[in-house]
Amino acid sequence: MKIAVIGTGYVGLVTGTCLAETGNDVICIDINTEKVKKMQNGEIPIYEPGLDLLFHRNIEQGRLHFSTDLAAAIKASEIIFMALPTPPGGDGAADLSYILGAAKDIANIIEDYKVIVNKSTVPVGTADKVKAVFENNSSVNVDVVSNPEFLREGVAVDDFMKPDRIVLGTKSERAKALMTELYNPYVRQGNPILFMDERSSELTKYAANSFLATKITFMNEIANLCELVGADVDSVRRGIGADERIGKRFLFPGIGYGGSCFPKDVQALSMAASEVNYDFKILKSVMTVNQEQKLLLVSKLLKYYNQDINGKHFAIWGLAFKPETDDIREAPALYIIDELIKKGATVTVFDPEAMDNINNIIGDKVSYAKGQYEALENADALLIATEWSLFRTPDFSRMEEKLISKVIFDGRNLYDLQKMIDMGYYYNSVGRKLIN
């Protein structure tokens, strides 16, 4: 099939590349000439495991193209994906100007039937607004489909190629048939393509992310409680996760969820509810608890140092909001660094992928280490903010040589408690206690 993808951000690039992989002819459009030139030359603008292989293969085999020429791409395509940003506007609600602007541009170009697919996370009712743009600007028949993405950064290619489900909001039989043909290769294992109305589809995305954020937050509060009552959160997690109604996944406590989706979507759903005079109380608590959880390590640290960390030096391992990504949006590390500096401490950081991104935001407020051990030089304590694999089995004797004191505050529960005690560390993690 002939596909256009408008917007080559994270979602657009993964979508375009993965659609080319099953034999479609895909053209990705962006207004950023520089970026398009780079992609035409085979340069991939984001770090996402497994994507580079598919990206290069499909460019070489002539199925994946990049261009700034919107009109030519639209005319040549049967299905047009919109993967455009929807940043929070001044009032906190999603800013739809990119999507509605693109819809107008497309409406002015099209000469025959197209399926317009929205991949961005948008408020309920957006599909209707997009439809209205077409009705007001073109006499050509189009179908607008809401198709939320559920890609996780770090495993986005796998998530796209083998999705748990594909959600499609449309009532049009013609669009349903085309979208089924397009997505059938991705659901060979029997996972469902779920058709529903546009509004339900739009809400599904917010509901899924908000539910998961709530699940994590609930576990974070259980972990906090474990510490106070002398229980062990790993045991509780296994105990409840074995119940199939609860499930094992997304039960890992830590220092709060971050990233480009959960924080934004929980806030957007809460706001959307209040716009129709519904007070979504759970979501408000989730946001408050998560904000506090991001600073959990700082409050533990302050307690350990009797509320005075002025002049202390700390190492931070992990800056990305989670492993296998260079994304630092809403990352707990950002909040931790800010707080430590405010309280008079100095900080050296290390992350395998996110150093440049942090540098762009906080510049020389912190020192940057070339490696994980170098980061520990003269540090009073180590703080672990992201569970990168290389932090899981470190050389503890090398760590001892560098650290001033054997003190670790671990926001991701990476190490065995008994081992840490045996090695003489002060080791403070989240919600855990030794089981004797």
Beta carbon nearer to ligand UDX, 140 or 187: 187
- Smallest distance, ligand UDX to C-beta of residue 67, A: 27
Separation between Cα atoms, residue 32 and residue 37, nearest integer Å? 9
User: Does the protein bind ligand UDX through residue 376 (CB under 6 A)?
Assistant: no
Task: Report the C-alpha dihedral over residues 53, 55, 60, 64, rounded to 10 degrees.
Answer: 160
User: Does the protein bind ligand UDX through residue 209 (CB under 6 A)?
Assistant: yes
CA nearest neighbour of 370 among 392, 348, 402: 348
Q: Is 201 helix (H, G, I), strand (E, B) or coil?
A: helix
User: Does the protein bind ligand UDX through residue 258 (CB under 6 A)?
Assistant: yes
Q: Are strands 193-196 and 367-368 parallel, antiparallel or unpaired?
A: unpaired
User: Does the protein bind ligand UDX through residue 66 (CB under 6 A)?
Assistant: no
Q: Quick one: which segment of 32-40, 182-190, 247-255, 335-343 binds ligand UDX (CB under 6 A)?
A: 247-255
> Around Cβ 43, how many Cβ atoms within 10 Å?
11
Candidate list 262, 317, 391, 409; residue touching ligand UDX; CB under 6 A: 262
Shortest-Cβ-distance residue relative to ligand UDX:
261
Q: Is 79 helix (H, G, I), strand (E, B) or coil?
A: strand
Candidate list 75, 152, 300, 313; residue touching ligand UDX; CB under 6 A: 152
Separation between Cα atoms, residue 298 and residue 249, nearest integer Å? 27
152 annotated among ligand-binding-site residues: yes
264 annotated among ligand-binding-site residues: yes
Sequence length of the chain is 436
Beta carbon nearer to ligand UDX, 150 or 415: 150
> Around Cβ 369, how many Cβ atoms within 10 Å?
20
For ligand UDX, the binding residues in 316-335 under the rule CB under 6 A are 321-322
Query: Is residue 143 classed exposed, middle or buried when 0-12, 13-18 and 19+ CB atoms within 10 A define those classes?
Result: buried
Beta carbon nearer to ligand UDX, 151 or 383: 151
- Smallest distance, ligand UDX to C-beta of residue 258, A: 4
> Around Cβ 418, how many Cβ atoms within 10 Å?
11
List 18, 28, 226, 261, catalytic entry:
261
Beta carbon nearer to ligand UDX, 76 or 289: 289
Q: How many residues bind ligand UDX (CB under 6 A)?
A: 19
Give all strands (DSSP E) within 147-228, no chain letters: 166-169, 193-196
Let me know if 18 is a catalytic residue.
Answer: no
- Smallest distance, ligand UDX to C-beta of residue 300, A: 17
427 neighbors 410 (Cβ within 8 angstroms): yes
Beta carbon nearer to ligand UDX, 215 or 406: 215
Beta carbon nearer to ligand UDX, 37 or 248: 248
CA nearest neighbour of 270 among 94, 97, 126: 94
CA distances from 145 to 127, 169, 198, 201, 332 (A): 7, 5, 7, 9, 35
CA distances from 27 to 4, 8, 215, 334 (A): 5, 10, 38, 36
153 annotated among ligand-binding-site residues: yes
35 annotated among ligand-binding-site residues: yes
The annotated binding site is made up of 30, 35, 86, 121, 150-153, 205, 250-254, 258, 264, 322, 329
Residues classed as catalytic: 261
The annotated binding site for NAD(+) is made up of 30, 35, 86, 121, 153, 264, 329
Binding footprint of ligand UDX on the chain (CB under 6 A): 149-153, 209, 212, 216, 250-252, 254, 257-259, 261-262, 321-322
